[in-house]
């Protein structure tokens, strides 16, 4: 399957996985709809790629009303979205639950869960009508393996894993695919955001290890969406070679 005749919407396309996906898919000939909060970065990406084949929208995934009217605002040539990449998401803080900010928990839920729901619900209707489509959700190994300070972030990614499986069940009989990508440690702006711009602390996360890159994730998503249409990749869990799932931990007096 090639991408020349496909229109792909990527949320959170201004950096990290989203930007890498935009570059990979554009080089493969796809038309792109890129959303994000930072309009200057979107414009730069549009100009770097192909302005005629890239449509940009400044949008916060938490804005339900704006997402619900998205299709009506698209140029006709971009309205038949065949692939949705629910990439926008974030982690805030690494404190244990008693020391966290409730506002941070709410922002993670609103972005990582509600944002995915808003885009999926809005775009899925057209996919069902055309009987063609692919929804790719960006989960995380944090949805499977708990770690100290992962609390609500990990819970939002566990939601995506189950939501992806339930979508597959609801879409039985339709030619629509659903994939959940679950990366481990990946060096992007992720830790900068988690630590509120503390770059020194963010760099410590990746010291002494070759982490996954945004391009690694983009390559994996590209492979998933270019499989023959009768092939659905349900989920992919991926880590860098030097990362493994943690073992059971016991606190002893």
Report, as residue numbers or ranges, the catalytic residues.
153
- Count CA within 13 A, CB hemisphere, residue 37: 8
DSSP annotation of 186 reads: B
Q: Give the separation between CA 8 and CA 119, rounded to whole angstroms.
A: 13
Instruction: Determine contact, residues 212/183, Cβ cutoff 8 Å.
Output: yes
Q: Give the separation between CA 55 and CA 32, rounded to whole angstroms.
A: 6
Q: Give the separation between CA 18 and CA 215, rounded to whole angstroms.
A: 10
Q: Give the separation between CA 54 and CA 49, rounded to whole angstroms.
A: 7
Instruction: Determine contact, residues 222/216, Cβ cutoff 8 Å.
Output: no
Where would I find the H helices in 148-209? 151-170, 190-194, 199-205
Inter-helix orientation angle 151-170/102-109, to 10°: 20
């Amino acid at each position: 399957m090639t991408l020349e005749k496909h229109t792909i919407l990527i949320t959170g396309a201004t950096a990290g996985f989203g930007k890498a996906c935009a570059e990979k898919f554009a080089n493969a000939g796809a038309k792109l709809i890129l959303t994000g909060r930072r309009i200057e970065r979107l414009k730069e990406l549009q100009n770097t790629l192909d302005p005629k084949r890239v449509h940009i929208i400044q949008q916060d995934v938490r804005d339900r009303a704006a997402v619900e009217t998205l299709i009506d605002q698209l140029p006709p040539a971009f309205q038949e979205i065949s692939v949705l990449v629910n990439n926008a998401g974030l982690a805030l803080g690494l404190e244990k639950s008693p020391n966290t900010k409730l506002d941070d928990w709410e922002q993670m839920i609103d972005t990582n869960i509600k944002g995915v729901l808003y885009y999926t619900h809005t775009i899925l209707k057209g996919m069902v009508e055309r009987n063609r489509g692919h929804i790719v959700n960006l989960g995380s190994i944090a949805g499977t393996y708990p770690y100290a300070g992962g609390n609500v972030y990990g819970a939002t990614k566990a939601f995506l894993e189950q939501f992806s499986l339930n979508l597959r069940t609801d879409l039985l009989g339709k030619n629509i695919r659903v994939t959940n990508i679950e990366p481990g440690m990946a060096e992007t702006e992720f830790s900068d955001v988690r630590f509120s711009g503390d770059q020194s602390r963010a760099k410590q996360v990746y010291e002494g290890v070759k982490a996954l890159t945004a391009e690694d994730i983009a390559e994996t998503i590209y492979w998933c969406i270019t499989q023959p249409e009768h092939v659905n990749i349900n989920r992919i869990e991926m880590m860098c070679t030097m990362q493994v799932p943690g073992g059971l931990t016991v606190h002893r007096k």
